[in-house]
Amino acid sequence: MNSYGWNVSEQRVPIDILLIEDRDEAIEMVEGAIQETRLRNRMVVARSQLEALHYLRHTTALGPQDADAGLNKPGLILLDINMDKQQGFDVLHEIRTDPRLMTIPVVVLTDNLAESDLAYTISHGVTGYFLKPMDPAQLRKVVRDVEDHWNLLWNAPCAN
């Protein structure tokens, strides 16, 4: 049973994580936090809005034919909302308005979160946010909770 009281199998299926971040030091920080948590998740890094949207729309499973080809839709997106030229906000808007992407949980990464930024991210359905530098224990909890969510959906009995 996880922290929400859900019954979850010990056989977890690791989710793919997409990190959208433009600064090397922040990428290294997230990679270090993931290594420190000893999670088995595959992480893909996109360094710009264009790279992130190309990855999401062209190299991930967005339908059964893609899943059959071995492509995986990320189970979690970690998004630096303060990328250059408002790119983080633009990416969030694109994700939340694309029916194929809108169900992916998005956790915002930020150095500081102004009240207007917080209101924008909440209105665009973010799952949560981390203030940098991030606490590896918090990251582990978020990844585990998202895995629990997806594992429950994947293992739910189908209605006939």
Q: Is 5 inside any structural domain?
A: no
Q: Residue 71's pLDDT is what?
A: 54
Place of tokens 């019954």: 7
pLDDT at 19: 95
Take residue 150 and report the two structure tokens written for it: 């997806």
Tell me how far apart the alpha carbons of residues 8 and 151 are, in angstroms, rounded to a whole number: 7
**Whole-prediction pTM value?**
0.78
Each residue of 82-128: pLDDT tens digit?
888 778 999 999 999 998 899 899 999 888 878 888 888 999 999 88
Tell me, what's the pLDDT at 69?
A: 47
Q: Structural domain tally of the chain?
A: 1
**Looking at the domain assignment, is residue 10 inside a domain?**
no
What integer pLDDT is reported at residue 141 of this predicted model?
81
* Separation of alpha carbons 102 and 93, rounded Å: 10
Model pLDDT, residue 67: 46
pLDDT for 125: 92
Q: Domain for residue 160, yes or no?
A: no
Other Cβ atoms less than 10 A from the Cβ of 47: the count is 17
Domain limits for position 56: 17-155
What pLDDT does residue 124 have? 93
59 found inside a domain? yes
Question: Which residue numbers in the chain have pLDDT < 70?
Answer: 1-13, 60-71, 151-160
**pLDDT at residue 62, rounded to an integer:** 54
User: Using H for helix, E for strand and C for coil, what is the string for 8-55?
Assistant: CCCCCCCCCEEEECCCHHHHHHHHHHHHHHCCCCCEEEECCHHHHHHH
- Assess contact for 137 and 34: CB atoms under 8 A: no
Residue 23 backbone dihedrals phi, psi, to 5 degrees: -110, 130
CATH number at residue 117: 3.40.50.2300
List beta partners, residue 131: 110
